[in-house]
Structure 1
């Protein structure tokens, strides 16, 4: 490789990479350039040289893409939370479908060249869609700031006005930062001090109710802060404290206690309401969650006779979308609070054909089968790491006739399809844009068992 760090090179951008960066070739060497778009001709400066590729910084655009937009966000380039705000939105949707194609080509599950890939379903107004934020805190010149770490660093970028964050949650976190300063609450510092590390704020789109979690590495007294905050924002229903004393990079520690208000807030999807406790998982974009779940229901194509397993069920939301169309729904999740929420939600909604248990799907499915239970249909909605190897083996052993895979990571989806296509046919994949202006997308895969 002839490239050197700090070397300036001209580059034609041939395609976009999985993180939204432009990719070109310089004398057969792959070069990644964040901020560059497909079709552009640029001048860039090499920042790192690896064994099979190089990374570069965009300096000048000699030939600009006609789809390039001026980002409306003042901190877009330093924040790193969004990667595609400089690309016209309809082209972002095309890019997300291309991400899926790239992942399938890389892993090559059986028959991938012939998969039906439906156009990405986007948003009419792709702004202020994030109903939940998790901002880190730090003290800077005597003031508390809240925001996100710049990409690949522990340098905090203070965020006070985010184009993709729900406006009320942004207002609340700004106020929280001011009150942490006012009441001199200790703030966690990686080197010296213990205190508040992270603040989570989530708002229900249906009811407007809000809950907060303060993640702390030491005991703190938030009484006066909460008194003032709750007076200003009566929609705050729940405040929890999460104790996280270890040095791990995980956001939350194991113990969460509610220190003010009720157990949960109420949200709604596809016409049914459910309760969310502070630690329970729910999609970040409630508006597109309606689209995603509707597509999952359509893909499973139930006839009413099925017994359904909802793996990674969270508070039960996907399963509830199917509950009135099946004989039974069984769900599992590793977070006990989520399972408790699922049970309460099912009771309140009047479903008497649901069963929820805390634990791992790869442990519980064999246990249920040993007890005589049989599933005809399966929904999986795993985290970004995809399906656990043991769960894949379990699915291939029991082979429910119908399956829907809801994915938030096209790479692990394509990897898992290599195994799943040993027993299933991919009928189609529907891409859904849950995270506008970012390089992430979701997909709903319809699978049917091979006969």
Structure 2
């Protein structure tokens, strides 16, 4: 490979990659170009030379894709959070099916060529859909900024009006930053590591209730900020602080404390309401979560004779949708607050057939089986890292008859299916667009145990 950094080359884009970048070949060398679209003829400049591929930046487009759009977001290129906003939305949905196919082709789980992969279910209005934000805070030249780090860097992009963020959450974080400046609160930086490092704002779509978490590396008296903020926004019901003194890039530390208001806010999905404590996980796109859960209900065909395990259960939302349809529901999660929410949610719904524990699924499930419990149905909704290897071994050892895998990462899904398909077969995969304008999708996979 004779390519060098800063070299300019012409390129025909053959396809799009898992990060939304355009991919082409220059003299048999693989070239990745963020911002380029399939079918375009471009000129790009090499930015990095690796062993088997090169990376480049888009300079000019000689032949433009007919599906290219002008992004509405003014900081689209600077932020990088929405990798494919320049692609027409219906074609974004097609791309997310292709993402699944690329991942399956890479890992080649048994019979992947014949999987029923259904068209992505999109949104009528794919803007302002994020009901939760987590903005990092830093000071530059004495001015407080809050936003996201530019991809692959520690450069913070100041965000005041995000096109995919709920407007109320954006208004609240903007106001919170003004108050932090007004009262001269210390702001975290990589050298001194002392002060506010992150602000989380979440709005419940059904109740319009809002909760905040200030993540800080040191103890602070936030009362003046809380007083002004809650006076300005009556919808705020919870203000909490999370202590994260570590030097790692992890957003949260172990300790979270409610400073003001209620312990939780109320959200609704399908036909039931539930509580969300500040640290509890819930999907960031409430509108599409309704669609996602409907797909899970359809995929897991249960009866009253079934006993269901909801692994990575969070506050219990998916499993509770089945509580009146099965004999029992059991769930676990590593976040204690989420499990406490799940217990309260089950109680408020009048469910007497549920059981929740804090801990890892690969530890808790074998203990349940030792005690005589048997599950015929299983839901897994893991983080982007996918299923733990020990949990994969646990699932294939105990082999519940039916299973639904809810995935937010097509690569780890395809990897995990290699293991699971030793025991199960895929009936279909339904893609749901939970993250419009990004190179991410959610997938609901219906699996049934192979007949022996």
* TM-score where L is the length of structure 1: 0.99
Give the root-mean-square deviation of aligned CA atoms. 0.6
Residue 416 in structure 1 maps to residue 423 in structure 2: no
Aligned to 1:315: 315
State how far apart, in whole Å, the 2-side matches of 1:312 and 1:193 are: 32
1:79 match: 79
Equivalent residues of 2:378, 2:402 under 8 A apart: yes
Q: Which runs of 4+ in 1 moved over 3 A?
A: none
C-alpha contact 1:312 1:380 (8 A) present in aligned 2: yes
Residue equivalent to 1:19? 19
In the TM superposition, what is the alpha-carbon distance from 1:270 to its structure 2 partner? Answer: 0.4
Q: Distance in 2 between matches of 1:391 and 1:182?
A: 49
Partner of 2:199: 199
> What is the deviation of 1:164?
0.3
1:35 is aligned to 35
CA–CA distance in 1 between the matches of 2:289 and 2:304? 23
1:303 deviates by: 2.3
* Distance in 2 between residues matched to 1:404 and 1:114, nearest whole Å: 19
| Structure 1: gaps (5+ residues) | none
SS of structure 1 residue aligned to 2:322 = helix
Task: Output the TM-score relative to the length of structure 2.
Answer: 0.99
Q: 1:327 and 2:327 equivalent?
A: yes
Determine whether 1:48 maps to 2:53: no
C-alpha contact (below 8 Å) 1:185/1:221 kept by paired residues: no
Q: Distance in 2 between matches of 1:127 and 1:373?
A: 45
| Number of aligned residue pairs | 451
* Structure 2 partner of 1:425: 425
| CA contact 1:142–1:181 (8 Å) conserved in 2 | no
- Structure-2 separation of matches of 1:381 and 1:46: 39
Q: Does 1:303 align with 2:303?
A: yes
Task: Report the Cα offset of residue 142 of structure 1.
Answer: 2.4
Tell me if structure 2 keeps the 8 A contact 1:117–1:430: yes
Question: 1: distance between equivalents of 2:149 and 2:68?
Answer: 26
Asked if the contact 2:193–2:217 (Cα under 8 Å) also holds between the matched residues in 1, the reply is no
- Mapped to 2, the partners of 1:48 and 1:218 lie a distance apart of 39
3-state SS of 1:124 partner = coil
**What is the deviation of 1:226?**
1.0
Take 2:143 and 2:62, find their aligned partners in 1: how far apart are those partners?
42
Take 1:19 and 1:206, find their aligned partners in 2: how far apart are those partners?
32
Asked whether the equivalents of residues 76 and 82 of structure 2 are also in contact (C-alpha less than 8 Å), the reply is yes
- The aligned counterpart of 1:348 is 348
Q: Structure 1 residue 81: deviation in Å?
A: 0.9
Query: Is the contact made by 1:147 and 1:157 (CA closer than 8 Å) also made in structure 2?
Result: yes
In 2, Cα distance between equivalents of 1:221 and 1:82: 36
CA distance in 1, matches of 2:108, 2:244: 41
2:10 aligned with 1:10? yes
Q: In structure 2, list runs of 5 or more residues that go unmatched.
A: none
Which residues of 2 match residues 243-392 of structure 1 at below 5 A? 243-392=243-392
Secondary structure of residue in 2 paired with 1:323:
coil
- Give 1:193 shift: 4.8
What is the CA distance between 1:192 and its match in structure 2? 2.7
